[in-house]
Chains A and B, each alone.
Chain A
């Protein structure tokens, strides 16, 4: 039978569609298993790079990706805390905090030392307005560095805000909501650390 005639037969159409779907899903599953390990490795590498960015070199000598405790955050969400240790003693912690920005959640990775002082912070993910709110990225502006060295007592709690709210942190021209959210996220992270300090530093020992 000619292909032309075959094409118009009712049974040919679902079968051909089925074959295409089968070939496509086979290709996808092969590609998935071929790339799975590479992607996991690349994401692990990303995580290590981010951890290295928020924490000064030599601050920890353990594998931060291995030593973790999972606690419950202020909103009831699980928070995975990476505990930094040096010579077996806990020296600080790295964890993620999220706060709603202008357009969706802003995810911040922050490192805190044992005294509750910010070692460093980086925005991991956000969907803020390009050209305005994206100055929270280290690639666009050094603004996020202004958190380093800050703690709950320095500046005073009522000064933990952007300058428009009588705080100490700069806002951006045309974007106040975004930096306000990041300040709130970091402050929330410090409060979270203060509330769970013993658990985090203990959890690192076990």
Chain B
């Protein structure tokens, strides 16, 4: 892969091939943790960290691993990595662990990580794999935070509640309550709300892409004389 196009990798991860909005992977954590923007952000960042390291490792050993045993090897690698992160955070960043601990265990079962190892890192160099990990991870973070914010806003009327617990007191300014008297629509916090929000977002993304397609087709068509 000499002519690696990093721009395409980044665009793929963030939008064209977004883990949630295009690949429809990792929907289990997406539904489970996106009850608030802060939770979505936390899960996204933790996943990004694991994804980058797993992509780098998988890419580094791709030549030595037989295709026949690659899946168990990748699974062992990812599970080990997540456990290491879990132990390390618990020991040295215990306060952060108390907020993120729940998410870290969920990363093991995140099919997006195995999916990237299999679809990208096992056939690409270390640097492109790292970039792909960052782009995919950030795309995932963006999707989770966005879904989380919408559900949180409709469900409780707040934005980024408890962000300072996750990111530190400096980020307390993120916590907003745009509608002070809004009681909240419980449905949005519960699982059906997650499905509804995701459905509308997917439809919206489709609509955007169809518009884009139409305008490019229109632009290339010969103009009537």
Contact = CB atoms under 8 A, between A and B. Distances in A.
Given A35-B90, A130-B189, A132-B186, A16 B64 contact: yes
Nearest to A38: B91
A46 B73 CA distance: 37
Q: Give the interface centre of B65, B66, B87, B183 by most chain A CB atoms within 10 Å.
A: B66
Interface in A13-31: 13-14, 16-17, 20-21, 24, 27-28, 31
A13 B69 contact: yes
B90 A42 contact: yes
A12 B73 CA distance: 13
Interface residues of A, number: 29
B68 interface: yes
B55 interface: no
B155 to A, nearest CB: 6
B184 interface: yes
B84 A131 contact: no
Contacts of B90: 35, 38-39, 42
Contact of A27 (B39, B64, B80, B156): B80
B72 interface: yes
A17 B72 contact: yes
Interface of B: 35-36, 39, 63-69, 72-73, 76-77, 79-80, 83-84, 87-88, 90-92, 94, 98, 152, 155-156, 162, 165, 183-184, 186, 189-190
Interface of A: 3, 7-8, 12-14, 16-17, 20-21, 24, 27-28, 31-32, 34-35, 38-39, 42, 45-46, 129-132, 139, 173-174
